[in-house]
């Protein structure tokens, strides 16, 4: 099959499989470590308590799942789901190394989550919606598995606010990041895909509308670091 007509799911799975071993290192390097603060804020927005259950959708290397495990405590439960096995393998090794006992790692698709309805107090995804070929379907699934009154939290890159900051950010994101990331990982394609995927991604308002259509309410949007990332929160 020609590469340019591969289904998006196949393309994305192959893309992230190719960079799985160095994904976390490059994330920290290319974001100057700020992605950690974004993730911490998104987890805080879940408003979890000890003993709760939480779901990390498109968990990748399980960074959010590890953070969620602390929020729910030893009596709580976290499920991390992804359809990219090499990324999950890295995540599982991280969890084992940290001796975390309350995180379960499952292979699964965001559009058909391996969980019963009304299971989790919070469902979260980080930097993954751009890679889903049917975002409304993924949001419906996240809403389905979340308990009534629970929260669906979306952490994503966004288009920055302000013309000056926006130009500086776009220069780094579109020109420098693909070169640095590609040179270190020896995989240029993933880091060319990243800025391209953001250009065609939904606006904040479009995401909020899709959340409403998925059955969520009280939608709030939290811009981070000048708007280069955003957290959307909805209540079921």
CB within 8 Å of 21: residues ≥ 6 apart: 86, 90
- What does pTM read for this prediction? 0.85
Q: Provide the pLDDT for residue 120.
A: 98
Distance CA 130, CA 110 (A): 12
Q: What is the pLDDT of residue 70?
A: 97
Show pLDDT as tens, one digit a residue, over the chain (236 residues): 233 445 777 766 766 666 656 666 556 555 667 889 999 999 999 999 999 999 999 999 999 999 999 999 999 999 999 998 998 999 999 999 999 999 999 999 999 999 999 999 999 999 889 889 899 999 999 999 999 999 999 999 888 776 656 676 666 666 666 666 556 656 666 667 666 766 778 899 999 999 999 999 999 999 999 888 899 999 99
Beta bridge partners of 122: 54, 151
Structure-block tokens of residue 142:
């996240």
Domains and CATH numbers, the chain: 3-235 (3.40.50.150)
**Burial (Cβ within 10 Å: 0-12, 13-18, ≥19) of residue 146:** buried
Give the orientation angle of helix 177-185 with respect to helix 188-199, to 10 degrees: 150
SS3 per-residue string spanning 40-88: HHHHHHCCCCCCCEEEEECCCCCHHHHHHHHHHCCCCEEEEEECCHHHH
**What does the DSSP 8-state code read for residue 233?**
E
């Amino acid at each position: 099959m020609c590469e340019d007509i591969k289904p998006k799911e196949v393309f994305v799975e192959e893309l992230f499989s190719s960079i799985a071993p160095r994904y976390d290192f490059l994330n920290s390097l290319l974001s100057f470590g700020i992605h950690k603060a974004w993730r911490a804020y998104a987890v805080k927005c879940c408003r979890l308590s000890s003993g709760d259950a939480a779901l990390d959708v498109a968990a990748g290397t399980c960074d959010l799942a590890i953070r969620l495990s602390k929020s729910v405590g030893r009596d709580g439960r976290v499920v991390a789901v992804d359809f990219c096995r090499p990324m999950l393998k890295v995540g599982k090794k991280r969890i084992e190394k940290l001796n975390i006992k309350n995180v379960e790692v499952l292979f699964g698709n965001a559009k058909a989550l391996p969980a019963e309805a009304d299971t989790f107090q919070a469902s979260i995804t980080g930097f993954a919606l751009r890679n889903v070929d049917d975002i409304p379907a993924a949001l419906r699934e996240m809403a389905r598995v979340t308990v009534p009154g629970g929260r669906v939290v979306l952490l994503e890159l966004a288009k920055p606010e302000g013309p000056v900051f926006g130009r500086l950010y776009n220069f780094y994101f579109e020109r420098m990041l693909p070169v640095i990331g590609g040179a270190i990982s020896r995989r240029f394609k993933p880091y060319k895909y990243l800025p391209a995927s953001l250009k065609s991604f939904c606006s904040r308002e479009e995401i909020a509308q899709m959340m409403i259509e998925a059955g969520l309410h009280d939608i709030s949007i939290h811009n981070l670091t000048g708007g280069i990332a955003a957290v959307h929160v909805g209540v079921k």
